[in-house]
Amino acid sequence: MNTDHPIICLNNISFSYPGADAPVLDQLDFDFYAGERTGLVAPNGSGKTTLFQIVMGLLKPDSGHIKIFGKTVSEEKDFVAVRPRIGLLFQDADDQLFSPTVLEDVAFGPLNLGKSKQEAVAISRRMLSSLGLEGFEDRITLKLSGGEKRLVALAAVLAMQPEVLLLDEPSAGLDEKTKEHLVGILKNLDISYIIVSHEFDFLAGLAESIYTLQNGKIVLDTELHLHEHVHAHTYGRQPHKHD
């Protein structure tokens, strides 16, 4: 594993939405290396989704440079080349599952990568069964439950065999059982990932290092420090476990 160069390197990134007073991201620097499993915890509206969309080239930063897999990416065609290697799981699975059936949705990525129909279908079936979704192939996407949608969306992202996963609030709205299932899946994946979440307990089991977004910048906290910090503000009044 090459750990000399970061696979995602953000340098001096600023972004503000039209009409907003303060920038969401303010001269942000961030390096992400292969093999890392990183958590990003921050309140809603602090720019986590924006950050992911900038990495994928879906939003254009007002300033700054992005290097992915060691190459500078700035134009749409640069991003088109790197997108298949980075899997972004959207916060709202309904945005992601636009195909009518589960099989078609999971196969969409592989087909776009030039796989034949047979290959794409085979990859999709394999992926679905590895996530415990056997028999879902012909289900109509819009009739799935919230948890099923999230898992199918994950299968669709993984079917492209990405090298990095960007997961945007993957546990939001899931029941405990599905959440555990998801944690099990992610733990067993041999892949680097960044998880954005505001659920500390969910992140704690999955991330090796945890960062926060503060005032438009990414800040590394030591785990202990962050633990206290999150408790005091977000989970202080709710019942929770201590390991």
Partner 1 sequence: MIDEPFAHGSSIIHRIDPRFKAVFAGALSVATAVSYRFEALFFALGLSLLLVIAARLAMGLVIKKLMVVVGFLLLLWLVLPLTFEGEVFTRIGPVKITRPGLILSAQITLKSLSILMMFIALVTTASLVTLGHAMDRLGIPAKIVHLLLMSYRYIFVIEQEYRRLSRAAAVRGFTPGTNLHTYRTYAYLVGMIFVRAAERADQVYKAMRCRGFNGRFYCLAEFPAHRRNWIFAGLMTISLAVLVLLEFTNAAQVLT
Partner 2 sequence: MLISGAVLAAAGTAVGLKKIDYDRIARVGILSASFFVASLIHVPIGPASIHLIMNGLVGLLLGWAAFPAILVALLMQGVFFQYGGITTLGVNTMIMALPAVICYHLFAPLLAKGRKAVLAAAFGCGFCAVLLGAVIVGLALMFTEEKFLEVATLVVTAHLPVMIIEGLITAFTVVFLQKVQPSMLPTFDGSPQKTANSQK
What number of chain residues touch partner 1 (CB under 8 A)? 33
Hey, which bits of 22-163 come out as E strands? 25-32, 37-41, 63-68, 71-72, 86-89
Q: Residue 140 binds what, of partner 1, partner 2, none (CB under 5 to 8 Å, by partner type)?
A: partner 1
Q: Residue 88 binds what, of partner 2, partner 1, none (CB under 5 to 8 Å, by partner type)?
A: partner 1
Distance in angstroms between the alpha carbons of the first and the last residue of the chain:
31
Decide: 190 and 37 in contact? Cβ < 8 Å: no
Q: Residue 141 binds what, of partner 1, partner 2, none (CB under 5 to 8 Å, by partner type)?
A: partner 1
**Which one of 2-10, 111-119, 208-216, 227-235 is the stretch in contact with partner 1 (CB under 8 A)?**
111-119
**Which one of 18-26, 35-43, 65-73, 137-145 is the stretch in contact with partner 1 (CB under 8 A)?**
137-145
Q: Does 99 bind partner 1 (CB under 8 A)?
A: yes
**Which one of 35-43, 52-60, 207-215, 224-232 is the stretch in contact with partner 1 (CB under 8 A)?**
52-60
- DSSP character at residue 17: -
Q: Which residues inside 161-180 make contact with partner 1, applying CB under 8 A?
A: none
Q: Does 17 bind partner 2 (CB under 8 A)?
A: yes
**Measured at the alpha carbon of residue 189, what is the angle toward residues 7 and 140, in degrees to the nearest 5?**
105
Q: Does 17 bind partner 1 (CB under 8 A)?
A: no
Tokens 């910090």 sit at which residue? Answer: 229
Least distance in Å: CB of 49 to partner 2?
Answer: 5
15 beta partners: 25
**Measured at the alpha carbon of residue 241, what is the angle toward residues 240 and 243, in degrees to the nearest 5?**
155
Q: Does 141 bind partner 2 (CB under 8 A)?
A: no
Q: Which is nearer to partner 2, 15 or 211 (CB)?
A: 15
Q: Does 112 bind partner 2 (CB under 8 A)?
A: no
Torsion of CA 179, 184, 190, 193, to 10 degrees: 20
Shortest CA distance to 197 belongs to which of 30, 47, 29, 43?
43
Interacting residues of 27 by C-beta distance below 8 A, sequence separation 6+: 12, 13, 14, 63, 64, 216, 217
Q: Which residues bind partner 1 (CB under 8 A)?
A: 53, 56, 58, 80, 83-84, 87-88, 90, 92, 94-96, 98-101, 103-104, 107-109, 111-113, 117, 121, 140-142, 156-157, 160
